[in-house]
Amino acid sequence: MRQHVNPLSSNFKQIEKIPSLNEMFGDSKSNLHLDIGCAAGEFLFDLALFNTSWNYLGIEIREKLVKNAKFKVFRKEIKNLYFIFGNANNILNDFQCKFIIKNLKSISFNFPDPWFKKRHHKRRIIQPEFINILSNSLQKGTLIFVKTDVKDLFDYMDHTITSNFYFKKIDEKNFNYSKSFNPNKVKTNREKYVIDNQLDIFEKIYIKI
Ligand SMILES: C[S@@+](CC[C@H](N)C(=O)[O-])C[C@H]1O[C@@H](n2cnc3c(N)ncnc32)[C@H](O)[C@@H]1O
């Protein structure tokens, strides 16, 4: 069982220098999707390989995973995939990253760490201040995809997002994935595990209005 990283640790206050979209991607004008808490990035490698008209950006707090993912991108000469190391809250709150938020078509939070104990809830990635940052800078129409197998965490994230006036729920049953960042409904590693073990998945899509 892996040791969870405490995102509030002072180690993550300093963030790496964020390159421009031109430096990150072969075609900086392609649609941009951000996956927060992407782990080793396998999900994003699968997506980037098949959907070459999208750019994919992953943020992950475990440095080793990001180093390995960056090396794999370099080795395979993938031009529509980029990884950033650090606490996503700090990264997206940084002035350097305003351009990233402004250019996003969608964001996914796939199976974020649940931090079950109440005193640890503030370590959860989705926080009211974070949702405020997103609502202040995302373009209208940007989508947020949330998935988890923990009902309590789902309720907490759903409440936090819908408490912000600028996000509205979308009925995911009638959602047309074909034009989304994930037209083939590729599964994340955690999602595959959850399906194999017949656990519940709680998911929702929100749109910035
Ligand atoms: C349970 S794993 C899920 C990984 C992947 N999304 C999946 O569905 O298989 C959660 C991931 O989020 C990362 N993470 C947790 N808090 C984070 C934060 N504040 N910023 C960036 N990544 C974070 C963890 O290190 C871990 O890799």
Q: What is the pTM of this model?
A: 0.97
Confidence of residue 133 (pLDDT cuts 50, 70, 90): very high
One-letter amino acid for residue 197 of the chain: N
Ligand 1, residues 2, 3, 5, 97: which to mutate, most atoms within 8 A of Cβ? 5
Just list the catalytic residues.
Answer: 113
Long-range contacts formed by 185-189: CB under 8 A, 24+ apart? 186/43, 186/46, 186/47, 186/50, 187/43, 188/42, 188/43, 188/110, 188/111, 188/147, 189/39, 189/40, 189/42, 189/43
pLDDT band at 56 (very low <50, low <70, confident <90, very high): very high
Share above pLDDT 90 across residues of the chain, in percent, rounded to a whole number: 91
Q: Is the CB of 145 under 6 A from ligand 1?
A: no
pLDDT at 13: 86
